[in-house]
Amino acid sequence: MDVSDGASITQKLPPERSRFGRLLDNERLLASLMIAPAILYIGVMVGFPFSLAILYSLSDATTGNQTLHFVGLRNYIDVLGDPVFRKSLLNTFFFSLCSQALVLVLSKILALALVRNFRGKRLVRFLILLPWTAPISLGTIGWLWMLDSIFSPFDWILRKMGLLGAPDALFGPLSNLYWLGEPSLAMLSVILVHTWRMLPLATVILLAGLTSIPHEILEAAEIDGAGFWRRLFRITIPLMLPIMTIALLFGIVFTFTDMTVVYVLTRGGPVHSTQVLSSWAFFKGIEGGDLAQGAAVAVFLFPMLAGVAALMLKLAHRTEVA
Amino acid sequence: MAQVETKGLTKLFGGVNAVDNIDLMTQEGEFLVLLGPSGCGKTTLLRMIAGLEEPTSGEVLIGGRVVTNQPPRVRNIAMVFQSYALYPHMTVFKNIAFPLQTRGMKKDDVRKKVEWAAGMFGIGKLLDRKPRELSGGERQRVAIARAMVRNPSIFLLDEPLSNLDAKLRTSAREELQQFQKRVGITTLYVTHDQVEAMGLGDRIVVMNKGRVRQIGVPREVYQKPADTFVASFLGSPPMNLIEWGHLLMGFRPEHFLPVEVKASNAESNVVRFEFEVTWVEDLGSDRLVYGDIGHQCAHRHVISKIPANVGVFIEGGKTYSFAVAREDLRFFDRETGLHTDTTPL
Amino acid sequence: MARLRKIGARSSLYGIVTFFVVFSVFPFYWMLIAAFKRDHDLFNPANNPFLFNEPATLEHLRTLLFDTLFLKYLANTCLVGVAVVCITVLIAVPAAYSLARWSGRWGENLGIGIFLTYLVPPTLLFIPLCRVITAFRLNESLGALILIYPTFTIPFCTWLLMGFFKAIPKDIEEQAMIDGCSRMGAMVRIVFPLSVSGLLTVVVFAFTLTMHEFIYALAFISVSAQKTISIGVPTELVRGDVFRWGPLMAGALIPSIPVAVLYTFFLDKFIAGFTMGAVK
């Protein structure tokens, strides 16, 4: 062995490290130390308020009098008897499921289209993502105008096409549809905005899933004689089921808990027809000052979310196998 | 250079002893191969010696010093992983320099040593490249250069040749061997490839299910296997094992030849078999003959390996007389699988 | 025949893509035009809403920038954004590393647990958080937001980073330990430089999540000057029942574009981290 070149080579084992130095090797210690701040923060800022919310719902606190007097399930009973609450609960499910069903179909089509290469793809991607990447409240503001009772561009188009504004028009003789003023149209509008906003996220997730299918499988199917539609429904979609479900669950979670779209678009109106659990909890608890009732309303969000979370967990484990 | 010693080294993984009470001692400057199938514990054993895995019980000694619970960096060892673990964001130069920098060596000394190590492995012109720009063989050399640059006392390798393609493997094997002989560093080498083990090892440690089955020089492990596991693991094709009375009888395919070939041996030194040939494979350098020998109660499937220079004509579907020299027979206990010296013949 | 089929397929592809692009971009296109349309043009229902029927104007932009607190909102949002990003990185990076490397059973479940806190809705937490805010005397201040926003950025970013850290092969760190680093040293000298893109992605996502947030800001801040962009634009540009549409549209569009650009840019990295986290 060539031991020349100056530097002393004979390697003795380095001296015993100091106690501190050894700490930097102690994996268990390091692991706990590194995760502690996160656990601490989440415990204090999420866990604690979460329990507090439950407590509030069982109390009679208001913003004026914030002391907790235990009143049992009275708030829940009040809340369940409230027709606005029942409408909110219904709406929450209705909006989420409708918009996500639409999103599922639309995002599938879009993902399939985006898998190919075409010119201007990067720009298209950016534009497609805008509804999701723009801040929620700001994007919704654009829709406020689109759905305005006087100036809506939709109405303008419909008028120009003769479907609106004339006595025998398909959509009625009035010059405008009250997108945000008429209860059923308002609900439709909220669903529309939710769909618009969640489409990019779902598309991106599905696209990732689509590209992870080994192309040999599809080639084998082609050799076996399967055409486009058969390949789609017999191979592509079944293979993407786990990731489609994940996209669906994410979408449901975000629409289920959303309050921004409703607040900016309709403030829950007209006459609470577009109220959802989150917005109603907000109006009751923050604007109305009734903390206890607001908390009770909000608590109803949780079982659904817990269910969704459990489902996502199961799926997460299953996709690992793939 | 130093010796590596383990005393009663054990590692428990989820209720199973991945490494079960192993006592090992290397000899100064030897190339010791840890051989065994996947999951036999050889890599775990190596990692415990390196300090990457904490033993459940037992001790590890390097150079006579107990290092059992000490981190890798104080053990003065070098290791080459199967993937070579080159730092992807550093140039070859920085990769090799890294172990020196962590020890606070001065810049000029570092440069000298890196160039020395690079020169030793012929990668001097690659110093400015990044790992992703290198071929498999080049990466392997960088990994070894990095390992050697600080003159460690022990050299550990975890299947470093398995990522190379077959052709490269043989030349890499030769280079590795020559390098180790030249430098004389105590080396522990993990592999599942018994050809590699036979070729490289001064001694082979055959392992299975966390235990050591046999330690010995290649010739010994091959010709005098301690049990049926060692007997069937080494050799390609593996040793033929057939039931013989209350024992298992074993003979290697290359010892199981047409009787004409064995004719030179005296009659009493040879055991004959009637061999029903089912299939012949002509591999160029040898012929592999598959067939059955009907013996005692059951037909047993065995393989014969006839070298190319033996021209006896063998055809599938026919029966021939084959024979094995008595001295080439090995007997094993049916229950324990251990070799036994008692010869029922 | 095949040629015709190919052309047919190609045009339906372009057709579909165009449809979706129009659907997605429609409101933004609208906002862009409205921001520069004269009021007279804007508020005439008979006019074609998609074209400039009268020459464009910078009036609304001027109003937005000089007559409203828009710039203050932008400043507030940036302040909160930077502060939240710092807190998030400081807490999420070590946590993610710890979970990615030192898993074991409790580690796995803890990781999933942390991610699940992301799903706890703000509408459930904001009522008790009111109390916490008052206790810290942070009412009506940006400090309240800085304190609370990490409740969603930390879980999300930890989960994202876990995926990135897992993608770095373990044996590179072990090699560093053999080469002389301590466990901590291996992490700092080898893993962190290799995860720069992951860290950047996390920074961008934490920042954009902050910019999007609406509920907490709305609940805790009512003083105009302290508002962030997300709540300031929808609430302050409406006087009673009168919407100042022009400035409103401009105000909505201006913050959206940079956020969108950043987000899109880092989306590929996000997907890599996402699929890594989901598929391990």
Interchain contact A65–C (C-beta under 8 A): no
Among A273-277, B185-189, C123-127, name the most confident range: B185-189
Distance (Å, whole) CA C252 – CA A137: 8
CA distances from C99 to A228, C166, C182, C273 (A): 43, 9, 19, 15
Is residue A70, in this structure, part of any structural domain at all? no
Question: Which chains would you list as touching A if contact means 3+ CB atom pairs under 8 Å?
Answer: B, C
Query: How far apart are alpha carbons A290 and A302 in whole angstroms?
Result: 20
Compare A202 and A246 and report the one with higher pLDDT.
A202
Amino acid (one-letter) located at C172: I
Q: Which amino acid is at A9?
A: I
Distance from CA of C221 to the nearest CA of A (A): 11
Which helix (H) or strand (E) segment is C134 a member of? helix C122-135
What's the CATH code of the domain at A241?
1.10.3720.10
Same domain flag for C45 and C84? no
Specify whether C196 is located in the same domain as C211.
yes
Q: Do A144 and A100 have their domain in common?
A: yes
* pLDDT tens track, chain B, 345 positions: 578 999 999 999 888 889 999 999 999 899 999 999 998 999 999 999 999 988 999 999 998 899 998 888 888 899 999 888 899 888 999 999 998 888 888 899 999 999 999 988 889 899 999 998 999 889 999 999 999 998 888 999 999 998 888 888 888 898 899 989 988 999 999 999 999 999 999 999 999 999 999 999 999 999 999 999 999 999 889 999 888 878 888 999 999 988 887 766 666 678 888 888 999 999 989 999 999 887 654 668 889 999 988 888 888 888 888 888 888 889 998 888 898 887 766
Ramachandran assignment for C75, one of left (phi > 0), alpha (psi -120 to 50 degrees), beta (any other): alpha
Give the closest residue to C153 by CA, choosing from C228, C92, C70: C92
For residue C37, pLDDT over 60 is answered with yes
Same structural domain, A103 and A210: yes
Query: Are residues A165 and A213 part of one domain?
Result: yes
Other Cβ atoms less than 10 A from the Cβ of B122: the count is 12
Number of C-beta neighbours around residue B305 at 10 A: 20
pTM for the full predicted model? 0.79
* C182 neighbourhood in chain B, CB within 8 Å: 71, 73
Do C13 and C117 fall within a single domain? no
Q: A151 and A113, same structural domain?
A: yes
- pLDDT value for A321: 40
Whether pLDDT at C276 is above 60? no
Whether residue A18 has pLDDT greater than 80: no
**Which residues of chain C are within 8 Å of residue B103 when distances are taken between CB atoms?**
180
Q: Name the residue range of residue C106's domain.
A: 62-279
Domain contains A62: no
Specify whether C242 is located in the same domain as C196.
Answer: yes
Chain A residue closest to C32 (CA)? A142
For residue A76, being part of any structural domain is answered with no
Alpha-helix runs per DSSP H in chain A: 19-23, 27-42, 48-57, 74-81, 83-115, 121-133, 136-146, 153-160, 183-211, 215-223, 228-231, 237-256, 260-265, 277-282, 291-299, 301-321
Lookup result for tokens 């393609």: B165
* C7 touching chain A per CB within 8 A: no
Q: Are residues A10 and A86 in the same domain?
A: no
| Residues C102 and C196 reside in one and the same domain | yes
Q: pLDDT-based confidence at C1, cuts 50/70/90? A: low
Question: Do A107 and A53 fall within a single domain?
Answer: no
How many H helices and E strands in chain C?
Answer: 15, 2
- Given CB atoms, is B116 within the 8 Å cutoff of chain A? yes
Q: Are B115 and B124 in contact (CB under 8 A)?
A: yes
Q: Do B76 and A11 touch (CB under 8 A)?
A: yes
Q: Which helix (H) or strand (E) holds B98?
A: helix B92-101
Both A130 and A175 in one domain: the answer is yes
Do A160 and A293 have their domain in common?
Answer: yes
CB contact under 8 A, A151 and C43: yes
List the domain range (segments joined by +) for residue A124.
81-321
The total of structural domains in chain A comes to 2
How many angstroms away from the CA of B217 is the closest CA of chain C? 29
User: What residue in A sits closest to B179 (Cα-Cα)?
Assistant: A1
C28 and C66 together in one domain: no
The enclosing domain of C256 has a CATH number of 1.10.3720.10
Residues C134 and C33 in one domain: no
Residue A14: its pLDDT value, please? 46
Q: Does A161 map to a domain?
A: yes
Chain C's closest residue to A206, CA to CA, is C271
Do both C28 and C97 map to the same domain? no
Residue A164 lies in a domain: yes
pLDDT tens, position by position, B156-211? 999 999 888 888 888 889 889 998 998 899 999 999 999 999 999 999 999 999 99
C184 touches chain A (CB under 8 A): yes
Spatial separation of the C-alpha atoms in residues B44 and B53, rounded to whole Å: 7
DSSP-derived pairing of the beta strands B57-62 and B16-25: unpaired
Are residue C26 and residue C115 in the same domain, yes or no?
no
The more confidently predicted of residues A117 and A83 is: A83
Maximum alpha-carbon separation in chain B = 76
The subunits that touch chain C, with at least 3 C-beta pairs less than 8 Å apart, are A, B
For residue A269, what are its two tokens?
Answer: 């109106």
The structural domain count of chain C equals 2
Residue A293 resides in a domain:
yes
Same domain membership, residue A109 and residue A34: no
Please check the confidence at residue A17 and state whether its pLDDT lies above 70: no
Cα distance between residue B278 and residue B294, in whole Å: 13
> Tokens in use for B195?
């050809």
ipTM of the predicted assembly exceeds 0.95: no
- Asked if B144 and B81 touch (Cβ cutoff 8 Å), the reply is no
Q: Is residue A67 part of a domain?
A: no
Tell me how far apart the alpha carbons of residues B86 and B93 are, in angstroms, rounded to a whole number.
11
Is the same domain home to C33 and C157? no
Residues A41 and A134 occupy one common structural domain? no
Any idea of the CA torsion for B11, B17, B18, B21, to the nearest 10 degrees?
60
Radius of gyration of chain B (CA): 24
Q: Do B183 and A11 touch (CB under 8 A)?
A: no
For residue A179, tell me if it sits in a domain. yes
What length does chain C have? Answer: 280
Q: Angle CA(A212)–CA(A218)–CA(A223) in degrees, nearest 5? A: 160
